[in-house]
Every structure is written in structure tokens, then in C-alpha cells.
A and B are shown apart, each in its own frame.
Chain A
């Protein structure tokens, strides 16, 4: 038996990548779930997309429209740009390349995921997300300097 490459572009065979997740196994990470949801669109398996919605957005899912979109688009590639997880919260920023009506299109989204009872679920998405807000980390005077000099902050850049 030959195994085919997974549509999610992981480089792994479908049988060991998104295959089990589409069959109902829990995704190990938010990113794995996101990839499997993309694969579900490619394979027109909208049941998987529907059952991996967090409860608060379940009613908002337009299954009829999603099925049509899945059918009408030629799904070309998924790029996962960034994936982070903190406890039961996950964020995956991704880019989907597809063709629709003969036009090359891109969908850029930063999606939020939540783990409930061991299952990662899609809970929200921001399309064309703005850049990450700038984080200002306050460094204590007696802490090591963030420049990496090994000196205390007050004796280095904080002077």
C-alpha cells in the first residue's frame, strides 16, 4: 500500500498525519487540529470541521455555504506562520493558498483554539490580522540585562 502525502503540507503521509484526526482521534496540538481542519476542506469532509467548533460558535457555522466553498475552491497550499500554545489555549496564524473562479487567492487568519476535555476546538478567527501588539517587558534594576552581557541591568543598558 502506498501512502499519499497529507494535504496539510506537513510532509507526512495522510495516514499518520491528519487521517486519524479526521477519523475522530483527538489532535495533539492546536496546530494539528488547524491542519486537520484545512485537510477536511480539501477532502470535503465538513463533518470534521463542524464537530471541531467550540460550543459558542457552533450555531454560527453555515454548513451549506462551507460545503459549497470546499467544492468550488482548488485548495493549493497551507502555510502555518506561527503556532503558540499556553495550557488549554492555542493560537495558530496561517495562510491558505487557493484558486477560485480562475483567480489565485489567499486567506490569512489568526485562529484561536481551546482545549476542552482533551479535545482542541476552534473558537475564533481574525481574518487579515494586524501585527502582534508590541510587548513591553519591564526589567528590574537588579535582573540580568536583556542584552545578554551578563551584567546586571542597572550596571549595563539600564544605566
Chain B
């Protein structure tokens, strides 16, 4: 049976962490609180080769090499809706929305032939996968691949920048390699989050001050919204700390 899929605009996938292309992250810096999210891909994973091309390779203290993806992301708690999601569950920036949202439910960080299970709606999502929905994926190939190809191309294009950043972090925050090793050893993997401020420093962006000025009020607002929930204490700490960093960067002469 061919997998069928249609979006019903239930808005359920518009929650939580949203990986962005670097272009989208910069374009939407006034909208999303940004962070860099690191994911370890072990050498036995299906997407390992692709991950080494989109991300970087890191040698761990145990001498194993893993691929590491570094995704510029809208850094939101899992149950927080996207700031662009409207009360009617439609996207407030539909014509201008990030690549990641356009390509859903496909995911260009995986090989094209390995997308079938992404077409099975997650618990609570209301995607239409009935016989009425159109076939979107056939013989392990995406039928309308415009958005998938666009997002993949942007990811490939930004890969050298991400590698520059990874090199910087491993040089100046070498303890991170231990966190990566822990993630590689944990069955569920895990995510590591680094700040936009270190990314801006590492990549010497000339628009750092403007990006920081856009981010400072967002980080502050998120720090406020996460202040009282003990489950979000770690996120709150990041938001509050990064708010200060963004304010300072924004004021830099």
C-alpha cells in the first residue's frame, strides 16, 4: 500500500523545537528565540553518511567517531506553540514560512529512501493518511520534491559554516566533547544546546549586532514565560543568560 498524506492544518506539529536552515534562522530572528542544537549520529545509523556531509565528524575520547548535526533552531519548550501559529491553527506567516515547515512531514536530514515512517502521524496529530489523501511517496521517492530539495540544498550550502562553528566550540569549549560522548552512549541519544552568541563570535558575522538586538527581547520574554515552571528550569536558565548576552552584543560599539 502506498503511503498517503495530507495536512489537515491541526497545528499539532507547530510546537516545540524547530530546526531551521541558517538562512531561515537569520530571516526569522525577530520571531524565534534561536539556539544551536547538537545531535549525535552514530556510525551505525542509516543517516550517518548524510549527517557527516550536513554536519561534522567528531572523534570521541573513546576513539569512536560520530557524526554531529548542528541545527540552528527555534528554541521552544516541547509544548509551546510556534509564535507564528494563530488561534485558528493556521500559520501566520504561511507565504514566508521556514523551509522546515514547508517540507513537513519529510525530513532532509535523512536519506530520501528512508522517509516512509515520517508519514505515520505522531500520537495526537491529525494528519490525513486515509484513502482520500494523495500519494506523496512512491518506491522510496518523494513525488513533489521541491521543498525537500530546497531545504537539503540550503543545508548542504551551510555545512562549511557549521563546521567552522564546531571547530570553534571544540577548541574553546573542549568539555563539550564529553557531553557528546555521553549522548553517543545513551540509548535515547540526546541534544546539546549552545548559544547564538558563541555562534556569532565563531562565524564573525557582520550582522551580529542586529541579530542580537532582534533576539534580546525574545529571550527576555521566554525567560519570563518559563520562570515559574520547575520542569523548564534548564530552559529558563538558558533564556535568562542568553538575554543578557544578546543585550550586551546588541550594545557593542
Contacts and interface: CB of A to CB of B under 8 A. Distances in A.
B168 A60 contact: yes
B202 A67 contact: no
A62 interface: yes
A108 to B, nearest CB: 10
Contact of B248 (A60, A67, A127): A67
A40 to B, nearest CB: 16
A71 B172 CA distance: 20
A59 interface: yes
A65 B202 contact: no
A151 interface: no
B249 A64 contact: yes
B151 interface: no
A60 B197 CA distance: 11
Interface residues of B, number: 20
A65 B174 contact: no
Interface size class, chain A:
10 to 19
A65 B197 contact: yes
Contacts, number: 41
A94 B197 CA distance: 27
A65 B245 contact: yes
Interface string A56-87: 00011111110110011000000000000000
A39 B122 CA distance: 53
B252 A128 contact: no
Nearest to B171: A60
B167 to A, nearest CB: 11
A99 B248 CA distance: 23
14 contacts: A59-B201, A60-B172, A60-B201, A61-B201, A62-B198, A64-B197, A64-B244, A64-B248, A65-B201, A67-B245, A68-B248, A71-B244, A72-B241, A101-B237
